[in-house]
Structures are given as structure tokens and as C-alpha cells.
Chain A
Amino acid sequence: MSFNRYILIYRESDAGVDKNENLFDAFMKELGEKDPSNSVQVVDAVMNGKADPDSTLVKIIPDNIYFKCKDPVDAIKIVDDFIIKNNPVKKLEAAANNIQYRIVLRNCGVIDPENINEYIAREGYSALEKVLFDMTPDEVIAEIKKSGLRGRGGAGFPTGNKWAFTQQAVGDVKYVVCNADEGDPGAYMDRSTLEGDPNSIIEAMAIAGYAVGASKGYIYIRAEYPLAIKRLEIAISQATEMGLMGKNIMGSDFSFEIEIRYGAGAFVCGEETALLASLQGERGMPKPRPPFPAVKGLWGKPTVINNVETLANIPVIIIKGSDWFNRIGTEKSKGTKVFAVTGKVKNSGLVEVPMGTTLRDIIFTVSGGIGNNRKFKAVQTGGPSGGVIPEKFLDTPIDYENLVALGSMMGSGGMIVMDEDDCMVDVNKFYLQFSVDESCGKCAPCRLGGRQLLTYLQDIAKGNGDLKDIDKMKRIGNAMQKASLCGLGQTTSNPIQSALKYFYDEYEEHIVHKKCRAGKCLELLTYTINPEKCSRCGICKRVCPASAISGDRESGFAIDNAVCIKCGECYNRCKFDAIDRG
């Protein structure tokens, strides 16, 4: 027995199995009749993308054709026409879900990151070879400029220009620094890239070094990324051993060596001037710019600092050319962007899509949308520096400018999706706490304003807010935006400002009505027993850890909200839905 075809029936990760069961049976039955040689296997597979509520996606391998099946009749048609007679069934065909486009992640999940040969087999170090022997530094920079590549570390500065400034800056020594200090909550794109394809970063750094005239590079990486560090070390040593790194690379005049330095995990050390200070062994605090690192960077020397993802694009641009790259993306934002989509989506994970893809496509088509029958509420891009984007803007094509216009930002690529169970005040509090904890403390607006904002949020979450607080928060937020030294302080208030813009009613509810509709702000919750529904089983009283429930089977049960610790245990355990939360 051997199969030559396979029918994959895609199941939603959390949907009822029944729908598929019928289909599965229909396929099996029809095949049993029409395919006596048993050459086709029917298998359940897993839906990574968005499920269509009315139909099930089916894929035929090796034909690589997708069909939408509504009912067993469709299954029969596919077997009869497509499988048996080899006729197309256009009516049922579905588009392949191929929104993703992997430039940065081209080798991730493909090659063995600890074996340089596998990288070389996939054009690895060919870009370096090309620049060293066939291009002048000026040509390299021109190519990168032409590609339109912009920094993926958050600010979106054109990479080619950055390289050009560094090249033109006067200095006997120059440096290339890779910023691998990724630290915003929910972001792990750079870690995955380094773990999955360390050689691409090293190669790109050498290319940058060649372009700007540097022969030394540093990778500043979080010490919490041991696997990425290990793989980088392996990659550097393998490349050095083969003469692809180090002295006279591939026999050319160009030498480049790379050292790995560990960050202690302070988020602000990802800011370039703080990163350089930390590299120099100083306290990781941002410094005023100008002077920009390109002019006066590490130890006062001209320095290119690029993000991991930015660098990962470089070898491909060199090999496939700037025109190829330039065709991908939008007018002002070229290429792709990797997002770490997490939160309330069905399939969290890394997604790489061309710039200009809509948020809706990323969240619904690629990541499967919201699970558990909940509704989408908002998505936060840009981590703690970004803002929340509500449903009505989901069709915005993603690029640097559009996200800023929505009150958020591209950031490094964390994308946290929220549903109805998320409370805006609570979410804001989470990010504020992060920013307050991570403020370096250097400048007054950020250090002191962040704490004020956080306290106001805490007050509001506890029901102690005042509508006047909102004006104060706006005023403080504005001062922080305008008067903080670095991006951290300048953006700390973004989540709040955007929530106030799009979800003002939720704030108002907390402040005026002392209600949290998502049930996240525990202090605002009250649990009450609905006597109509209560069957007087008494389980609530037994499970309450705070002994807040009194009564007996005769008189019925009641919750003393002054004693209740809002753990929700009774609410969860009541089989009769008799406990109201509000």
C-alpha cells in the first residue's frame, strides 16, 4: 500500500470537530468507492490562517491546490472530478494563503544554524563575496540606498543614508554595531533570526564594515539569549576558520572581526547611545544626539548601528539587487517586516509580510484571528512605545508613516492582539509599568512623569479616578513626549494617549461608573448571587478562599463584597451560572 495523493482537511485549532468529521467521512466514503487501490490518504491538518465560518479548507498534495468545502457534496465532487478524473473544480478552489513573504526569515526553519555549510549552500556569504570583489564601497552604499531599506529597530531611518554618513565621517577607526538588545514585551523576532540564521547577520555586518570602512564589529546582545549567543559564537568561529571572517576575507584586502558583548537586560540599552555607553563599560544611559553615532559613536569613532532585522535584509539585497527589493512593499516603506504576533490570536508566531499588508490580513488571515469565540478589540503595535489600534483601522496598510498617523508606531515588531476580555486601563497599566521600570532615570519628564501616569492608572483601575485626572494625564503625557531625551520617555504615554482617543468610553466607565467591562480591574468587580438561578448547592461557599459567602441551603447564599477578594473562584465553579459579575 502506498499513497500518491493526500487530502488535508484543515481543522481550526479550537473549532468544533463535527464539521470536519462529516467531511472526513464523506471523503473516506467516496474514496472507498472510487479509489479501490487506496492511493489517497485523508488526514486532519491544522489551520494556521483564518478559518472561514461556512466552509472548511482542504488541500490536495502534491497538487498544492486548495478547495473550500461547505458540505459532503463538495467532498464528493472533489473526489469524483479532481481526484479521479483530474478535472479542475474551479468553483471550489480557494486561494492559497501566501501572504507571508520571507526575506529576513528566509533561512529560519530551513537550515541548520550551527552548520555554516548549509548557509553557504543557500547563497550565504555570496553577497560578501560579491561586494568584496565586484563592488566598491560606494557602490554597496548606493545599492542599499536604492533599495529603500529602512531601519527595523523602530525609527525607520534609511539604512543607506546611515551607512553613507558613517562612511563620510572622519575617523581613523570605525565600527559596526549590531543592536540585538531586543527587549520590548512580546517581541522576539531578532532572537529567532539570530537563532535560526546567525551567519546572515555576521555576513551583513562584514558588508557594512566594507561599505563604511570598518574592520571591527560588535554584536550587543541580551545575556538572556543564550542560544542565540551560542549560535553566533559557532557561526563566527566557523566563518573565521574558513576565512570568511577575520583577516583578508576570501583572500581580499578586507579584514573584519566581530566580538559579542552581552547586555544586562536593561531595555533602554537598546537605545543606540545608551547601547554605546554600555559597550564602553559606562552606565547605559542615553545621551543627547547630535552627535549621532555615525559621526561620533563607539569610543568617539564613527559607528554604524543597525538592528538585527535590518542587517538580515542586506545579503539578499546585494544578491537579488535593489530593484528586486524595491518592488516589495509600499512607496515609502520597502521590503518586508517581521512581526511577533501574540496575545489573543489563534496562532501566535512570527509573521513576515511585505510592507503594506493590512493589519487585518496579519491578524486574521495569517494568524487565524481571535480564538475562543471572542471579538477583536484592538491591537498594540510598537510594544510599550506604540498605541492601540481599534477595529476600524484594521484595513490600514502597514508602513512606518501610517502607524504613526494612527497614534502608534512600527516599533521593532511586537504585535499584541486584544479581545473583549482585555481592559484598556489594565493594558495601559501593564505597558506603563514596563516603561516606568525601564526608564533609566536620567531625565525628569520620563522618570517622574511615567510614575505619575502609572499612579493615575492605578487609581482609575481601583475606582479612585477622577475625570480631571484624564486632563492631567494628557498634560503629563504631552510634556513627556516633548521634553524627554530618548525614545523611551517620548513614547511612554503613547498607549494611554491612543486609548484615550479610541477607548475613552472605557476610561469613563472606570472613572464615573466604577465599572470594568472586561472584568480585569478586580477592585471594580462585584460578585452577586442571583437567587433566581441559584440552586443552593453551596459549592460557592465551599470554594471561597476568603470566606466571603454566607448562608445555607435553607436561606440561600450571599456574597459580602467587603470581604470578597475578587478571585472569581465562585463564579467559575457555579454550575448554574447563578453568580453575576459586574
Chain B
Amino acid sequence: MSKLNREQFRSLREKLKAVNEQQTEIIVGLGSCGIAAGAARTFDAFQKEIKAKSLTGVVLRRTGCMGLCASEPTVEIKVPGMADIIYGWVTPEVARDIVQKHVMRQILVSNCIQDKTFKDILKEGE
């Protein structure tokens, strides 16, 4: 990628801001605490399951610590038209469950949903 000047930076930013509302996202917390709790295996499980179920339009992403260290590995699921949900203690089995139920059929998985207790300051009104 070539170096951006101010204008190019601005247009890139605008392009990147236009998020795809139509895709399902599976976001795995891969900070040290998550990894220590096995988040890498969880990530793999999602990857395999998405492939096994030949899902398209599902993006598997990585992120840092969500702060819920007692509940690692944590995963956030964004399905278009549904509220975003954070799951804790997502073992590979739970991961498969999440794909099969939540992602594919919009059924929440019991016993590991976490409460998301903070707003996004970048989106709040001035």
C-alpha cells in the first residue's frame, strides 16, 4: 500500500466506516486472558464449523479482551436484524452450538450469554 496523504486518508476512512450491515460476524476475544482460557481452540472450532456448514456471509473476526475475564473465552455474535450478543465460556462445543443455533437459526444458546454493560462512546450522541 502506498503512503496516504491527508485527502487519501480521509476518503479511506469514509470507505471503511461504511460497514456491511448485511453480514453475520463472529468475534472471538483473543487477548492473553482469552488465549489462556483456550480462545484459540474456540476460534478454530468456529472456522471449522463455518466451513462444515458451508456458511457464506459469515465473517469470523478476532478482537482483544472484552473485559469479562472471568468468563473467557468470550465471543460476540452479530447477526443482521438481531441484537448483538456476547457469550462467555465458549468452548469448541459451545462454538458449534452457537453456529448451529444462533448463527443459523437465531436461537440463543443458554447458560453463557453475558450482559453487555457499556455503551459505545464513539457512537453516543454528542
Contact = CB atoms under 8 A, between A and B. Distances in A.
**A and B touching (C-beta < 8 Å)?**
yes
Interface in B54-108: 61-71, 74, 76, 82-83, 85, 88, 105-108
A205 B73 CA distance: 31
A222 B115 CA distance: 32
30 contacts: A1-B105, A3-B107, A6-B83, A13-B70, A44-B111, A45-B111, A45-B113, A46-B115, A48-B71, A48-B115, A48-B117, A49-B117, A62-B82, A101-B121, A106-B120, A107-B64, A112-B61, A121-B13, A121-B19, A122-B122, A188-B32, A191-B31, A192-B33, A192-B67, A195-B31, A316-B121, A320-B121, A346-B70, A350-B67, A351-B67
B121 A250 contact: no
Contact of A46 (B12, B27, B111, B121): B111
A207 B115 CA distance: 35
B109 interface: yes
Interface of B: 1-6, 9-10, 12-13, 16-17, 19, 27, 29, 31-33, 35, 61-71, 74, 76, 82-83, 85, 88, 105-115, 117-122, 126
Nearest to B3: A243
Contacts of A101: 118-119, 121
B6 A324 contact: no
Interface residues of A, number: 80
A483 interface: no
A106 B121 contact: yes
Given A242-B3, A242-B4, A109 B106 contact: no
Report whether over half of chain B's contact residues are helix, strand or loop; otherwise say mixed: loop
Interface in A73-128: 96-103, 105-114, 117-118, 120-123, 125-126
Contacts of A148: none
A545 B33 CA distance: 36
A102 B118 contact: yes
Contact of A251 (B6, B19, B35, B67): B6
Residue with the greatest number of chain A CB neighbours at <10 A, chosen from B3, B66, B105: B3
Contacts of A228: 32
B69 A106 contact: no
B121 A243 contact: no
Interface in A399-419: none
A453 interface: no
Contacts of B111: 11, 44-46
A195 B3 CA distance: 25
A45 B114 contact: yes
A6 B108 contact: yes
Contacts of A250: 4-6, 9
A103 B120 CA distance: 9
Contacts of A252: 6
A121 B17 CA distance: 5
B3 A114 contact: no
Given A2-B106, A8-B113, A133-B6, A98 B119 contact: yes
